[in-house]
A and B are shown apart, each in its own frame.
Chain A
Amino acid sequence: MRSSRSYFTQSFQHDAGMLSRVANSLYWMGRYLERAEHTTRLLDVELQLWLDQSPEMGAGRWRFLLEALHAPGVEGPVNPTQLVNTLVFSRSNASSIVSCISTARENLRHVREQCSTRMWEQLNRLYLDVLDVQPEEEWILKSHNFFLLVTEGAYLFHGITDATMSHGEGWQFIQLGRYVERADTLTTLLETHFHRMTVPIEKPIEGAEYLEWVGLLRDCVALEAYCKAHTAEIRPLRVAEFLLLNPEFPHSIRFSVDRVNAALHLIGDLTQRSAKLPTRIAGRLRAHLSYSQIEEIMADGVTPYLQNVRSECSEIHAAINEIYFDYPVETELAS
């Protein structure tokens, strides 16, 4: 952590680790930015789809969207303005896009000396750009530009982070936050999806159902990657397999958990805590995903499977908190 640490000299043991508060901020910065990206993607896909549909048809999907995003419950019929306000601009919804970017920035602002200047500048710029946008009438029709701004701003930030920050403990905590959040949001999205749909089948599908599955792939920026792997024929079972178990695609659950696991191992080595709880849960979940087969999962029920993944994710989060950020002083002093 200390800049003076050299690969050639043995560092003192008391030099290991970084401030828990700082690690915590970087972790949450990663999580919030990922959440902003996820919400942006889902909304963008949804609103594009809505333009193709009659108002009545579209409105039915919005409740599902709110559910998939864990947004605060909405009574009665959902209208587009309400939807956009809740998910994009609302400050009372901590998971709205504006709230997420603002919180991510606030987290980075408190540990500004830990990141590179370019990183700070980029996130600050994204924040200012987003604040600049006002929800005027007909905003939805132009919303794509806004979503593009957020997505590209976030991509740029990740690029700058990778290129300008040491890939040490702090960087690993950013990745950890990012992929814990991704695994969690993906799982929720899939859960909501499978809940609505009939059991996925091997055969290619058509019609309204086809649109639903393509929409799901788009939500995960996975359409092109899926087509590369399985051609443009949409086979629900393969889509499920792709988004759950693909080891190479960045927006699959397995990929995200692999990353969580890798980050936790590196952090564990740096802090001499590799035998601790978060690493064990993450390793177990990773093994589980690596050796599962989609047919088995479907046979045993996809919902319980996803529920298990989600609860393991929150256990990982709780364990990270307990081991790295907010550990009890008594046990720490006793050891």
Chain B
Amino acid sequence: MTATALSIRGIIPSSFVNYQVDTAYDEMFASAGVPREHYRALHQTLLGLPPEELRRSQQAADLAFLHEGITFTVYGSKEGTERIFPNDLLPRIIAAREWMTIEKGLTQRLTALNLFLRDIYHEGRILADKVVPRELIYSCRHFRREMRGLNVPRDIYVSICGTDLIRLPDGVFAVLEDNLRVPSGVSYMLANRKVLKRVFPSLFRDYGVWPVDHYPRALLATLKSLAPDNAPFRQDPTTVLLTPGVSNSAYFEHTFLAQQMGIELVEGRDLLAHDNVVYMRTTAGLQRVDVVYRRVDDDFLDPLCFRPDSILGVPGLFNAYRAGNVALANAIGTGVADDKAVYAYVPKIIRYYLDQDPILPNVETFLMSDGSQRQHTLENLDKMVVKAVGESGGYGMLIGPHSSAQQREEFRARILADPRNYIAQPTLSLSCAPCLIDGSVESRHIDLRPYILMGEKVTLVPGGLTRVALRKGSLVVNSSQGGGSKDTWVLREGEFGEELMEEVRKELSVITPQGKLRVGREERTV
């Protein structure tokens, strides 16, 4: 579609002058100049707004973010490491029926991954049955031998998950990555919504959008449901958020969530373990802690057990955890299931435990530990995306089509030196959505990170964080690499009304009153 095709429609110069549609799936347009049904109202609104008006709205929104101090920290740059997280004003809209698929698919996936974690840290049936190679698991950097045989509350290892979805050119949502350790970004989802409601109040109301504001409440309920049975105040367990401190990139989010949930934001030095009980040091004396929502990586949690040089953790925390006197969310050792090489096995994992086909497909993935797949990748490095298996946040990545010969050589050497540490995927064109770039509407690549909570019940807040690659043509959406985000609207339209949503949710319920994971109608013991 060309710009002129659109600007003919109205006398007002169109904001879409620079909008280009390529081979990627376009969220707004079904074909040149024809918006999809659920984008029609937004399209109309944008056509009616002159560029200056749009620019003004964007400035108002930016100012709101600045004043609220919604920032993140970029590592590796010396000065001014605190930056505003760029927000794009135009909402990304998801139709109700699309969302139902996502909700079902993610619930299925997280259920299977929790069963998988419980299995590999206990009997290891899936390894004995050779569905997942044993050496793949044991060679994973995030596998925690210490977790063998340890029972976690409700058998839930991952209670807070943020899964990265992308939309393929045919419009199908696929899973790009599971974030099962300490996923971040949910505060931006809430902040985006708050600002958007202020900027587009009537559009928002007319669209009928599912609210997301209840996330902190749902998170708190999830955390509390993990409290150990012997907690002195079982019905009101003391829950804290453990942060690495001010210099962490997500510190803003930590303070935000702690404040929203009304729980204490603690650092490692505020906690101590004595006789396998964890306490926090308050002015009124030591106070027992029952649940720790930790935003500190496994490695740094307990210097007695993991990295001895860590000053972010709590000496003795692991033993208290082992003794069942404190709950951690997420559990230790969940990183083994979001290892990018293990990711390739998730469809098999779902089939193995649930006897179901995966609702959300994976992206084609080549394992560098496999000879022929490696060969294929090395021959096509310029078309591939290569990722280190244990990294996140867009660090340690090669994007073939955008790389130099020297970078490719470097990665070739790295792959050959340590094949287990790398995987490759074909360069995918993420779907595109309209974004406001300096007053005009342009198309940019986006992904979607919905947040799933698993405690007494499964909660998905409709929507999530839509991340945007703000640089033209870029496919990297990470905040640390020049990405931004936009609000995500899930519509409560027609047939997919509230009742149906509730019904589907009930059907999906995977936790029995006894707190065991349940599959379909039957409880499965692994």
Contacts and interface: CB of A to CB of B under 8 A. Distances in A.
A32 B467 CA distance: 42
B287 A17 contact: yes
Q: Which 8 A-B pairs have the closest CB atoms?
A: A17-B284, A17-B282, A271-B284, A113-B255, A16-B284, A20-B281, A324-B283, A17-B283
Interface in B246-279: 246, 255, 258-259, 262, 264-267, 269-270, 272, 274
5 contacts: A12-B233, A110-B246, A113-B255, A117-B68, A324-B283
B64 to A, nearest CB: 13
Contacts of A4: 262
B286 interface: yes
A325 B265 CA distance: 17
Interface in A181-207: none
A14 B283 contact: no
A70 interface: no
B265 A113 contact: yes
Interface of A: 2-4, 12, 14, 16-21, 23, 109-110, 112-113, 117, 169, 267, 270-273, 324-325, 327, 329, 332-333, 335
A333 B282 contact: no
B133 interface: no
B283 A267 contact: yes
B238 interface: yes
Nearest to A114: B265
B283 A23 contact: yes
B69 interface: yes
Interface of B: 68-69, 232-233, 236, 238, 245-246, 255, 258-259, 262, 264-267, 269-270, 272, 274, 280-288
- Consensus secondary structure, chain A interface: helix
B284 A272 contact: yes
Contact of B270 (A21, A117, A333): A21
Given A21-B267, A109-B246, A333 B258 contact: no
B272 A329 contact: yes
Nearest to B287: A14
Nearest to A333: B274
A158 B70 CA distance: 25
A3 B262 contact: yes
B226 to A, nearest CB: 18
Contact of A21 (B255, B262, B269): B269
A19 B246 contact: no
Nearest to B240: A19
B262 A12 contact: no
B236 A12 contact: yes
Given A4-B262, A113-B265, A329-B274, A18 B282 contact: yes
B280 A14 contact: no
Residue from the set A113, A267, A327, A329 with the largest chain B CB neighbour count within 10 Å: A113
Contacts of B285: 17, 271, 327, 332, 335
Contacts of A109: 246
Contacts of B287: 14, 17
Given A19-B266, A117-B68, 16 more contacts: A14-B232, A14-B238, A17-B285, A18-B282, A21-B267, A21-B270, A21-B281, A110-B246, A113-B255, A113-B258, A117-B69, A169-B283, A272-B284, A325-B283, A332-B286, A335-B285
Nearest to B266: A19
Contacts of A329: 272, 274, 286
B284 A273 contact: yes
Contacts of A18: 282-283
Contacts of A333: 274, 286
B286 A19 contact: no
Contact of B281 (A19, A110, A117, A271): A19
Nearest to B259: A113
A14 B288 contact: yes
A270 B245 CA distance: 27
A127 B285 CA distance: 34
A2 B240 CA distance: 12
Contacts of A169: 283
A325 to B, nearest CB: 8
Contacts of A23: 283
Contacts of B233: 12, 14
A110 B251 CA distance: 10
A94 B521 CA distance: 67
Contact of A271 (B236, B246, B269, B283): B283
Contacts of B272: 329
Contacts of A332: 285-286
A272 B285 CA distance: 10
B316 to A, nearest CB: 12
Contacts of A16: 282, 284
Nearest to B286: A332
A43 B510 CA distance: 70
